[in-house]
Amino acid sequence: MLDTVIYLGPSMSRSEANSILHAEYLPPICRGDLAKLPEEVRTVGIIDGEFFQSLAVSPKEIVALLEKGIKVFGAASIGALRAVETHKFGTIGVGEIFCMFRDGILDGDDEVALVYDSQSYRHLSEPLVNIRRALEIALAEKVIDEMEMERLVAQTKSRYFPDRSHKYVQSLCPPLAKFFEGKIMPDVKYDDARLLLLAIRDMQNGCT
């Protein structure tokens, strides 16, 4: 095993991740996984993890790694959540989602939760952070106003996370469907996953 391990699932394809950072890529993290890492691992990047299928990785497990002198980076999904809880102990939080949770702008784990195919990691629902970003774009372009955006966010948040999708939101506000037709939808989790990989690569290359 290489000395750098990344826990990655639906946030980014493994082939793309490997083109950014040469590392050992493991499936989404579960509780107990960190204790199984071999001694040669010196850097850990946590992006995706299990929330509901299995017990989630705990802050205590991450702190145990930090106490051994292992560098831990977190971003995008459960990595961002745990980085907020452990950054005072040395975890390096990366990206916008980490910052939003750290600053109290977001406060629910369901903001980053989604359902995905366990084999291909294909998204079967859309995380609320991505839906929020799409609505912010529509707001900036005056397709909706702030009151409408708040209504759409509230209705989507009240919906069980496996049933959240851009299609659902657009059904609540048909002008959005026309506005986003043919456009690539924003993916904040992907953006933050990429930033984590670049941060580790820069650290290993001695960049500041």
Is a pLDDT exceeding 80 seen at residue 25? yes
Spatial separation of the C-alpha atoms in residues 33 and 163, rounded to whole Å: 29
| pLDDT for position 76 | 96
Looking up tokens 């959240």, which residue turns up? 164
Task: Write the pLDDT tens digit of every residue in 47-68.
Answer: 999 876 668 899 999 999 999 9
Rounded average pLDDT over 190-206: 95
Is a pLDDT exceeding 80 seen at residue 151? yes
| pLDDT for position 54 | 64
Task: Write the pLDDT tens digit of every residue in 115-140.
Answer: 988 888 898 999 999 999 999 999 99
Q: What residues pair up with 44 in beta bridges, in sequence order?
A: 5, 72
Spatial separation of the C-alpha atoms in residues 70 and 157, rounded to whole Å: 36
Strands (E), 31-112: 43-46, 71-74, 92-93
Count other Cβ atoms within 10 Å, centred on residue 201: 15
- Could you state, in order of their start, the residue ranges of all structural domains in the chain? 4-115+189-204, 128-186
Provide the greatest CA pair distance for the chain. Answer: 55
Predicted structure pTM score = 0.93
| pLDDT for position 91 | 97
Spatial separation of the C-alpha atoms in residues 84 and 52, rounded to whole Å: 20
Rounded average pLDDT over 183-207: 94
